Structure 1
């Protein structure tokens, strides 16, 4: 196991940091052993599924690796889920036990978790992770993790599992229909973590400090940050909830060397830097110190606008390296080629051991450079399938290839570029319009800070183009003025006919803009 190897080699090195708390590799491994012994004592067998709802706290990796040590399968759940949704995930995965953080007044995770657990007959055990690790008294009749671990040995012999056995079940976001569980094997997870370290030039001798603000329940944070980082003895500095100003402070105080985030995080960091520097010397951020220690800035989860990439490089002196992946691909599939200069706007080339091609709806390869097709992947990273859904698996898998649902093009040098989600494609009057292209153009306007473009119903054109825009602080521009500017920049069938100004955009817990919610807020354009 990745954790056990690092604990043997670096028992006294800090594995996790949260505020003033530090947990060494030896301590992390010992606590994970206690969780494994707890599960075994409660009748959890190898191959059983165990669910986990927890933000970026030390208890997440403690429980995560404890589940794996017991030979069980981890089912990480989005911390934003409510009772009904939790019940669905517990029942669909067949989870036998459930670990849930208690949350707080703003997000009462424990309350939601208890409701979901009570509605699921097959889930036998629930353990409440408390904010105070010393709490032992039951909460509403639910045993606390602290109480359950009392008397459990800190020594354990991990259950041996085969490379092809399931290790983790990651649920897709469920933009259409109910969420599906992507079954990822031990081989998927270990190979993907090793591939990430190979790309980032990470090794135990270097001793990196990772800033961990990507949710660990999500594949990006789980594999590329947690598993990859712990496998090389890195120190993971936890930030349970992303807040740009706090992230900048941690980059300074903890000498962060590796930061991984989604595009909206980089956008927020730029905004916080501007705000801090406008406040004067008292609040100014020493960007030079950040650039002096940070050696890798990684973006994934969604397409990174070229404008944000350029601005970040100018302000922080660090080139963001963009990658691509999905829950179904463990997730890392394509990444900036470490041996060639990065190409703004490109998601890079297939990582070691992974193949990529562009296909049409019948799985035929799309010929020629710069032709648009659906991105398909094959390699060590592809899931075993969707849990208990052979028909859904057959829809996306063919001869080992997995179709991603993302439209892309490939240049003559083999670099791939995401054009858009196939589901986000706008068909206006018979013309295909890619929202990302319009977003890229709008972001070049000095008044525009962030933008999301969607298609809305239209009587004659089928769909019309609408943009939701967050303006830069103190920017003054009207809808008509911005539409007129767009008209000058793009073909007549592309520019938005409607622009709505907003102060915030709806986002997932991982920082992706929820375009389906924006669509629900929009009226048809006539």
Structure 2
């Protein structure tokens, strides 16, 4: 019997006055977070929530996210975190697909979707019985007949005896990005999520006095497990930022004496592009002891530049929504190995396989397969798609990697991003790494585009560095001298920005 909410409850019981979470000028202790989560659990129980009922939550990095997340779990519900950037049609899809009975949704005048549109999306999802709006500064609900969260919680008590389900019960349904079709909900159990959070403590050598700056969206598995659940379980402090703004991130790192920062590679790139005064840089470097990267492959050049700027190595890991998410990590006890994501964390096994699930020969690239306490139960209500990726406990990830002589894994690329030009396999990440060494290139993304003769042609989207003068012919010539003839980009497009997800991953499907 296990409830993921114990990550909060244990610390609240043993150290209730300890500061748990900060958002702007507002600070809450573990006792206050736990008491407010109990109010949410009482609200859901009064509404008739049964064990296993799904409850959707759309909220940026605000105090309400952990309060509602743990409140839903305490009541025996399943949390369905939704991307805050979803449009009304997408909201309706996720509510209907998950079968969520209740929906907590943040709304504000500048929200991506108007409150009235959210209400219409809920009306289109037959299973969803009630909508509650999370409003700024406890403002009233903007839609008649829809309660605000603050009003709903005010009438509830601050004590609650949490439901203790079997550890194999689903705790969270995380939706994939839908890059290869409609988004699928990965069902993660209480054991999946709790073990992954506890494994994170061990793997990154977390400390009780750590201060985490949380700019990764909490609706995403990286921020949810490796920062929120892991930090609450150990008793650390989280500083929440609702959106990533590089200048404000740097100022907050200094002001709050942050010791741990986690981000995706494009966040580190933006931090390095931000003009920085020496007092702020010195203050950040004095306290920051660990930087974590995941979500996509980290370019070696970015890791080197960050080390030079702040004196801190970026330790890279690898994971997916379907694996709770942590699979591998570069041990803090070893110097980071550029390009490597390390080896499997405690309790996890890995293999490199081919299309028929057979192991590939030593030294050859293959698709990563994972087995362990972190692997999901399956995709919600999708038995055929679950069977395609799960076999005998092994989950095939869709990521191509190779293993080096030390047993560490080197990510090569996503299988779906592979470019086949004239019969040759080309891995975009290799070309992106090379492009970032050009003095005029700030960021690059490489994709394959249709070609009548070669099948696909290699195209590079490039953001130039500030003040750099890049000519397409010159960059093509440089690539021709730097890369093999069959693989260098023939096509270029210069841009001021690239399309990205809410968590900062480059959306290559849009570039294609």
Is the partner of 1:441 in helix, strand or coil?
A: helix
Query: Secondary structure in 2 aligned to 1:276?
Result: coil
Match of 1:384 in 2: 377
Q: Quick one: which of 30, 39, 51 aligns to 1:46? A: 51
Equivalences for residues 115-514 of structure 1 within 5 A:
115-133=120-138, 135-136=139-140, 139-204=143-208, 207-272=209-274, 275-277=275-277, 284-369=278-363, 371-514=364-507
CA RMSD across the alignment: 1.1
In 2: Cα distance, 1:482 partner to 1:101 partner = 45
List structure 1 runs of 4+ shifted beyond 4 angstroms: none
1:339 Cα deviation after fit: 3.6
CA deviation after TM superposition for structure 1 residue 136, in Å: 4.3
Figure out how many residues of one structure are paired with residues of the other and give that number.
Answer: 507
- Report the Cα offset of residue 8 of structure 1: 1.0
- TM superposition score normalised by structure 1: 0.95
Tell me which of 30, 55, 64 is aligned to 2:60. Answer: 55
**Equivalent residue, structure 2, for 1:516:** 509
- Is the CA contact 1:102–1:111 (under 8 Å) kept in the aligned structure 2? no
How far the C-alpha of 1:477 sits from its partner, in A, is 1.7
Bigger drift between 416-425 and 143-152 goes to 143-152
Deviation at 1:106, TM superposition (A): 5.1
Aligned mate of 2:29, from 24, 30, 33? 24
Moved more, 331-340 or 120-129: 331-340
Q: 1:235-276, CA deviations, whole angstroms, 9 ceiling, x for partnerless residues?
A: 10011000010000011000000100000000001011xx23
* Cα distance in 1, alignment partners of residues 264 and 115 from structure 2: 27
Counterpart-to-counterpart distance in 1, 2:71 and 2:111: 29
User: What are structure 1's unaligned runs of at least 5 residues?
Assistant: 278-283, 520-526
CA contact (8 A) 2:292 2:316 kept: yes
CA distance in 1, matches of 2:294, 2:114: 27
CA displacement 1:55-100 (0-9 Å, x = unmatched): 0000000100000000000000000101111111111111010000
Deviation at 1:290, TM superposition (A): 1.3
Greater mean alpha carbon deviation, residues 218-227 or residues 330-339: 330-339
The corresponding residue for 2:85 is 80
Question: Aligned partners of 2:119, 2:32: CA distance in 1, in Å?
Answer: 29
Would you say the 8 A contact 1:137–1:147 is kept in 2? no
Instruction: Tell me the residue number matched to 2:3.
Output: none
Shift of 1:202: 1.6
1:138 to 1:460, Cα distance in 2 relative to 1, 3 A: closer
Alignment check: 8 A CA contact 2:39 2:159 kept: yes
Does the 8 A contact of 1:84 with 1:115 survive in 2?
no
Q: State the Cα distance separating 1:288 from its structure 2 match.
A: 2.5
Structure 2 residue aligned with 1:7, among 9, 12, 21? 12
Residues 210, 236 of structure 1: 8 Å contact kept: yes
**Contact conserved, 1:332 with 1:381, CA < 8 A, in 2?**
yes
- After superposition, the C-alpha distances for 1:334-379 in whole angstroms (9 at most, x for unaligned) are 100334322111011000000011000000111212x110000000
Moved more, 287-296 or 32-41: 287-296
Give me the whole-angstrom Cα distance separating, in 1, the residues matched to 2:205 and 2:227.
Answer: 13
Q: What SS does the corresponding residue of 1:368 show, helix, strand or coil?
A: coil
Contact conserved, 1:348 with 1:416, CA < 8 A, in 2?
yes
Distance 2:227 2:19 in 1: 15
Give the secondary-structure state (helix, strand or coil) at the position aligned to 2:136. coil
TM-score by length of 2: 0.97
**Partner SS state of residue 318, structure 1:** coil
1:503 match: secondary structure: coil
Query: What is the CA–CA distance in structure 1 between the aligned matches of 2:459 and 2:248, rounded to whole Å?
Result: 34
Describe the SS at the equivalent of 2:425: strand
Give me the whole-angstrom Cα distance separating, in 2, the residues matched to 1:333 and 1:137: 41
Shift of 1:146: 1.2
Deviations 1:89-118 (A, max 9, x none): 111111010000013335235344222201
